Amino acid sequence: MKIKIASKNPAKIEALKEIIADYQNLKDTEIVSEEIPSGVNDQPKSLDQTVLGAINRSKNIHNNDCSYSFGIESGLMKVPNTKSGYMDVCACSIFDGKECHIGLSSAWEAPQIVNKYIIEDGMNMNDAAHKAGLTENSKIGSAEGLIGIMTKGRLTRKDYTKEAIRTALIHIDVN
């Protein structure tokens, strides 16, 4: 069996590898990664756009030589009564050649200045976190993620990506 993931992001690839190891029917699966555009903004600013980005990635990498394809996208969504009005969430779409199976992670709120840079200045999370002085790593989303910095390593980008993958797998009979 072969699975494709529409990303070269190490955090996303490792999250997928760790999750499928828990499933008897998937644990020996070959994983192929390829960078596939999301078809949405570099930094989605709504749940609709975040889920659509994941769907686009999963569908656009799928072909007849794989059983499942995974698209993973993180983005902001409006959440009332939060400090900035937005929270970040990760969406996973698994495409089986016929339909998409969607899962989401828990949501979390970045510091207000980061969300301001994203919403008002059009930055992505990496650039906004860097500009806010929260990291020197301009590719933080490929490492522990801003969530890793904010939780002091208690919840990393890989961990919250695993949540989205696991909840999408609910819809597939993979034991």
Q: Could you tell me the domains of the chain?
A: 2-108+158-169 (3.90.950.10)
Residue 88: in which H helix or E strand, if any? strand 86-95
Token pair 């339909």: residue: 99
State the DSSP string of 54-76.
HHHHHHHH--TT-SEEEEEEEEE
Token pair 């992670």: residue: 105
**Per-residue confidence band for 155, with pLDDT thresholds at 50, 70 and 90:** very high
Check: pTM over 0.75? Answer yes or no. Answer: yes
pLDDT of residue 143: 81
Pairing of strands 30-33, 2-5: parallel
At 65-78, the pLDDT tens digits run 999 999 999 999 99
pLDDT of residue 175: 65
At 49-102, the pLDDT tens digits run 999 999 999 999 999 899 999 999 999 999 999 999 999 999 999 999 999 999
DSSP state of 22: T
At 121-154, the pLDDT tens digits run 999 999 999 999 999 988 877 788 899 999 999 9
